[in-house]
Chains A and B, each alone.
Chain A
Amino acid sequence: MSASDASSSSKSQAASGGIGIANLPNQLHKIVTKKGTNFSLMVVGESGTGKTTFINTLLTTELIEPLDDASRRKKQLDKTVDINIHKAELEEKMFNVKLNVVDTPGFGDYVDNHDCWLPVVDFIENQYEQYLRQEQQPVRKGIVDMRVHACLYFIRPNGHTLKPLDVRAMKAIGARVNLIPVIAKADTLSPAALRQFKKRVMDVIDAQSIRIYQSPIESEDEHSTQRNKDITSAMPFAIIGSDREVKTADGRHVKGRLYPWGVAEVENDQHCDFKKLRSLLIRTHMLDLISTTEEVHYDKYRTTQMKTRKFGEPKPRKVDNKKFREEEETLRTRFTEKVKLEENRFRQWEQKLIAERDRLNKDLEQEHNLVKQLESEIEAIANSGSPNTKFFRK
């Protein structure tokens, strides 16, 4: 009886005052608040799908500036995909986030877009690689973490289904990072067409085994669970972006797009899913995105790499990017040509010198012969015994 008495008394003690374990979340909160956090977001999609506008709308600031004419013209026929990183520090109520936005201009923009997702995939894996190497260093302070926590893939709404380019790219990207498909410029589809398009996209994603980010649904309170359900059912998110304020017909000032026939509002759930996506990325699921990246995607990379490599060994570099191979070939041929040219020059020089030497030798020989001739003439005159020779002997 006394044991149960003791246990019940300890329980009651816990129920009344406790030892203070319940305060742990508050401590964590203070630590995280002081440390801040690091969040990397990548946007992938063809040009003109509204990636830049979306980022600027999301952050309510012009983080990415639109390209000017000269740079745009240079990129038109460039045939390459670039990786541009934009950094920002956000602060809200004493909490800061170091935000990195990775943009991919040139993706899907050319006549031949074969393998255009390779630079994207390489970038993602390189960040994992960098983190892995840094983790293995003796001094681990101050690790630079650029691992991508979420990748938004902008689908152009063609009203039918996903293009082969989208399918292949999303498959490659989704296997390595949290992939969130997004329907760009959603204000070009009527509500019925949009519903149908969303369904078709999800069908393809299932059929082609494309891995997309699944947000956790269950939560402590009903409200959150319901909200999470709403968010998940709205995928892929249909968004429109606008960094400008316009006036609607009924006089409200909203962020939206002004058409001759009306205003499409960014923050209106009837018009698009922007609020849901913002909620997913920032308000509610940012931590989950970060932890999924670390615990699932990065871990997968780390496991596969460590199986084949020794601790501390650098990654063998694969140079199998077709475009780089072509460049390599051209550089190599140019180098060989230059070397050949130089060799020819030297050879010609050598020839000239030899010719010169021969000429001089010949001249020398001629002179030599002349001298000999003169000498023999002298001899002849000397030996002929003519009266003039007496002169010579003198």
Chain B
Amino acid sequence: MAPSAPSINSTMSSRMATPRPSSYRNKFEKRGMTYNIMLVGQSGLGRRTFLNTLCEREVIPPSEAPNPDSANVADPMKFDTYEVPLEEEGTRVSLTVIDTPGFGDGLDNTSCFKQLQDYIEAQFDEVLVEESRVKRNRKYRDHRIHVLIYFIAPTGHSLRELDIELIRRLGEYVNIIPVIGRADSLTVDELATFKQNVMRDIEYYKLPVYNFCWDESDSEALKENRDIMDFIPFSVVTCDEVLDNEYGSVRVRRYPWGTIEIDDESQCDFALLRYIMLNSHIADLINYTEDVLYENYRTKKLEVGGFGEPEAEDGDEETSHTTDSKKPE
């Protein structure tokens, strides 16, 4: 089992103190860690610019001008995949991001949840099939979603039905981290109130957001994780331009009344979120997905009458026969 909180090496927070053993790192040196992120949220909340700001380059090009003649019909939801090889503090991460444009943009969005659930389950099914093969593919690429970043609209009041339903339905299949998109539309007071209201809603409706404190073995990391939970939902502002000043280049967003520094922790939680997603908690998120979420899914699937025994000594034919017959679900 991999340890929970990896190395420190950061100028930002001295909170993360536990070092990561080198053997863990070496395993991924060559291949790069497989890490899959899904971005979900209504259009206009900054999903695409978030990704570009996160990866520090333009991964998703700006969308083309929409056609005014077709503004009365919504585009159906689709899944766009982007592969971004990253290097974070010496570790290579083979990052795949799945964007979901069209979510929640239609008049009736009830079908969006099923589509997302089907997609996530399909990735689990693929792994289940792969595991059950007698001869496994060494180059097999794991497409399971390790974290889902959900963008909440900055209404300033509380969660809406769409938010509640999404977290409720998908929380058992994927780690959900709620994030406030376009958080620069909220003043300091409004942001504090909004975060409080969202947390209260999460408690009231018992919404299954990712619990940073799931691993209770390491007490020091546990304390850090409790502090992190206070920031949920994370406020995110995305970068428009890069300015050069005497300290180097600064990522900013400019308004007539002031300039926001994206990486300044006192102005928004973007830097903290990035650190959590790509550095300190990457192992946690992957482990929870593999050890808990996937295992639960697998158990449920096999109980219902799913695939053949993984260690069956029967030939290829029989296992593939049983898997094929159970596949269409």
Residues of A within 8 A of B (CB): 46-49, 67, 69, 72-73, 76-77, 79, 109-114, 156-165, 167-168, 171, 185, 187-188, 190-191, 200, 203-204, 206-208, 257-265, 270-271
With A47-B160, A159-B44, A185-B185 as contacts: A259 and B258 at CB distance below 8 Å: yes
Instruction: From the candidates A157, A164, A259, A271, name the one contacting B107 in the complex (CB within 8 A).
Output: A164
Q: Is B85 an interface residue (CB 8 A)?
A: no
**Interface residue tally for chain B (C-beta within 8 Å):** 52
What is the predominant secondary structure among interface residues of chain B facing chain A? loop
With A111-B110, A112-B108, A257-B187 as contacts: A48 and B156 at CB distance below 8 Å: yes
Which residues on the B side are within 8 Å of A112 (C-beta)?
107-110
Residue of B107, B165, B201 contacting most chain A CB atoms (<10 Å): B107
Nearest 5 A/B pairs, CB to CB: A158-B44, A48-B155, A262-B258, A261-B258, A188-B185
Min CB–CB distance A97 → chain B (angstroms)? 30
Instruction: From the candidates B153, B161, B256, name the one contacting A271 in the complex (CB within 8 A).
Output: B256
Instruction: From the candidates A111, A163, A204, A270, name the one contacting B256 in the complex (CB within 8 A).
Output: A270
Instruction: From the candidates B68, B187, B261, name the one contacting A204 in the complex (CB within 8 A).
Output: B68
Beyond A158-B42, A160-B43, 8 additional contacts (C-beta under 8 Å) are A47-B157, A76-B164, A77-B164, A111-B161, A163-B43, A164-B71, A167-B72, A190-B240
Which residues on the A side are within 8 Å of B164 (C-beta)?
76-77
Q: Is B323 an interface residue (CB 8 A)?
A: no
Q: Is B233 an interface residue (CB 8 A)?
A: no
Which residues on the A side are within 8 Å of B184 (C-beta)?
187-188, 259
Nearest A residue to B67 via CB reads A207
Please tell me if the beta carbons of B107 and A113 are within 8 angstroms of each other in the complex. Answer: yes
- Complex formed: what's the CA distance from A69 to B159 in Å? 12
With A76-B161, A200-B66, A207-B69 as contacts: A163 and B257 at CB distance below 8 Å: no
Please tell me if the beta carbons of A190 and B254 are within 8 angstroms of each other in the complex. Answer: yes
Q: Is B282 an interface residue (CB 8 A)?
A: no
Please tell me if the beta carbons of A167 and B71 are within 8 angstroms of each other in the complex. Answer: yes
With A72-B158, A76-B159 as contacts: A156 and B44 at CB distance below 8 Å: yes
Min CB–CB distance A184 → chain B (angstroms)? 9
Instruction: From the candidates B65, B107, B155, name the one contacting A165 in the complex (CB within 8 A).
Output: B107
Nearest B residue to A197 via CB reads B44
Which residues on the B side are within 8 Å of A165 (C-beta)?
107
Which residues on the A side are within 8 Å of B165 (C-beta)?
111
Q: Is B146 an interface residue (CB 8 A)?
A: no
Please tell me if the beta carbons of A48 and B157 are within 8 angstroms of each other in the complex. Answer: yes
Q: Mark B28-58, 1 if CB is under 8 A from A, else 0.
A: 0000000000000011110000000000000
Nearest A residue to B72 via CB reads A167
Q: Is B304 an interface residue (CB 8 A)?
A: no
Q: Mark B51-89, 1 if CB is under 8 A from A, else 0.
A: 000000000000101101101111000000000000000
Min CB–CB distance B108 → chain A (angstroms)? 4
Nearest B residue to A162 via CB reads B71
With A165-B107, A188-B185 as contacts: A263 and B257 at CB distance below 8 Å: yes
Q: CB within 8 Å of A: which of B196-250?
A: 197, 200-201, 204, 240
Residue of A109, A203, A204, A259 contacting most chain B CB atoms (<10 Å): A259
Instruction: From the candidates A48, A203, A262, name the one contacting B68 in the complex (CB within 8 A).
Output: A203
Q: Is B259 an interface residue (CB 8 A)?
A: yes
Q: CB within 8 Å of A: which of B80-117?
A: 105-110
Please tell me if the beta carbons of B185 and A261 are within 8 angstroms of each other in the complex. Answer: no
Which residues on the A side are within 8 Å of B45 (C-beta)?
158
